Amino acid sequence: MRAAPVDRKAWSVLIVSTLAFTVCFMVWMMFGVIGIPIKKQLGLNATEFGLLTAMPVLTGSLVRVPLGIWTDRYGGRIVMALLMLATVPAIWLMAYATQYWHFLVIGLFVGLAGGSFSVGTPYVARWFPKSRQGMAMGVYGAGNSGSAVNKFVAPALLVSFGWAMVPQVYAAIMAGTVVLFWLFSHSNPAHLVTSNVSFREQLKALKDPRVLKYCQYYSIVFGGYVALALWMVQYYVGEFGLDIRVAALLAACFSLPGGVLRAIGGLLSDKYGAHKVTWWVMWVSWICLFLLSYPQTDFTIATTAGAKTFHIGLNVYAFTTLLAVLGVAWAFGKASVFKYISDDYPSNIGAISGIVGLAGGLGGFVLPILFGALLDLTGIRSSAFMLMYGVVWVSLIWMYWTEVRKTEVMGRNAPEFHLAG
């Protein structure tokens, strides 16, 4: 069966929107790198560092529902352009912050950039036929690779000019991106939700158990991705004693595939369905997080030849490999969750993607704070992976009882037909 043709404007919208989202995500993840010298400068503990990195994620999450609804009503072009423009002053002011509360407050405004996801997702999806919406949303979602771009750009600027140069350069990049986006994006009035659909009707989706389930899935595949993207540079520095540039490079082995390969996840979801892809994503995540959870351990055994000490723990190479596999799995999972949404809610993508995106973003806000609290409480860095291992267990159990088990029961109860011999 031949794929439906796609308008040239659709490709232009997809490309320039993906560029805009990449820049927004780069800015959103800024504290993942510059937070390390700021932590040293201010003498922060792990919990305070977790809160610092999470503040932009909070506002980027909370604005996703209204932004998704406004996109349905007013169109993605105008909403995206105004959103990006609004972040430029805050990004620039970050360079002049000197106290902890300065960073927290300005971080809230910088975090608006994270809301771009729930704008671009319905915006690009509506330019493509349903059979290719998974691909379109996957390509757009590949803008998550802005997290990896941040890990390449920020350390170079930080080492050469100091951390304050990073927000100044990022503000200039964001301003330039706004101009490019406006020049190469387009509007289509047919994509707007009709005016007789009320705000309350759009929010009724919060009562839908399927939406709550998708929120749970997304809280780990996206929320976990955001949390680890913010946490991993300082994890490498603390756990393996690496230089910040080397640590950022290795952390990008997780961030880059976790962003870029989302497009492949969209294609796989179009071909095999959202359920199959998400089911395998959760199992791969479960295995990787189980192995990553094990802390560096030395134990002594009394033998006939005397006491012998053994060491169990992942070296930097095994750790990075498992982290990269986890990033690939979550890239596919981020796309498959939104394939569920485009299949189940074709006329309300903006509002539903905003709700699910909010849940994922809140996961990205809460998890770094919990990572820091667990580290301060236990002194075990891998406790971050232990926490996420538990979250994946919840997703697997929920998926089994609402999807896998339901399919098995339906299969057993299906009527059988026999041909007379």
- For residues 165 and 163, what is the distance between their CA atoms, to the nearest angstrom? 5
Q: Give the ranges where 222-348 is alpha helix by DSSP (H).
A: 223-240, 244-260, 262-272, 274-293, 316-344
Task: Determine the straight-line distance between the first and last CA of the chain, rounded to whole angstroms.
Answer: 37
CA distance 300 to 391: 33
Residue 313's pLDDT is 83
Report mean pLDDT in 10-residue bins for the chain, 421 residues. Answer: 66 93 93 91 92 90 83 88 95 94 94 88 85 80 85 90 94 96 87 61 70 88 89 90 90 82 81 87 94 88 85 89 93 86 75 79 89 92 93 88 66 51 40
Taking residue 259's Cβ as centre, other Cβ atoms within 10 Å add up to 28
Which residues does 32 contact at the CB level (< 8 Å), separation at least 6?
A: 53, 147, 150, 151, 229, 230, 231, 232, 233, 251
Domain with 312 in it: 8-188+204-409
Taking the C-alpha atoms of residue 28 and residue 111, their distance in angstroms, rounded to an integer, is 6
If we measure between CA atoms, which residue out of 331, 344, 335, 330 comes closest to residue 403?
A: 344
Q: Kindly state whether residue 92 falls inside one of the protein's structural domains.
A: yes
H or E, element range at 48: helix 46-62
Report if residue 2 sits inside a domain.
no
Cα dihedral sign, 87-91-94-96:
negative
Report the pLDDT value the prediction gives residue 198, as an integer from 0 to 100. Answer: 57
Closest CA to 339 of 193, 146, 192, 131: 131
Is 414 inside a domain boundary?
no
Residue 23 lies in a domain: yes
Q: Which of 396, 387, 397 is nearest to 363 (CA)?
A: 387
Domain count, the chain: 1
What is residue 415's DSSP assignment?
P
Tokens in use for 173?
Answer: 């990049």
Residue 243 inside a domain? The answer is yes
User: Residue 342 in contact with residue 134, Cβ under 8 Å?
Assistant: yes
* 96 inside domain: yes
CATH number where 73 lies: 1.20.1250.20
Dihedral sign for Cα 79, 81, 86, 91, please. Answer: positive
Q: CA 299, CA 283: separation in Å to the nearest integer?
A: 30
Q: pTM value?
A: 0.80
The reply to whether 416 falls in a domain is no
Output the pLDDT for position 72.
Answer: 81
Residue-by-residue DSSP string for 280-306: HHHHHHHHHHHHHHPPPEEEEEEETTE
In a domain, 420, yes or no: no
| Predicted local confidence at residue 118, as pLDDT | 82
382-384-386 Cα angle (round to 5):
75
Do the Cβ atoms of 351 and 202 come closer than 8 Å? Answer: yes
Which pLDDT score is estimated for 260?
74
* pLDDT confidence of residue 282: 92
The Cα 124–Cα 11 span in angstroms is 9
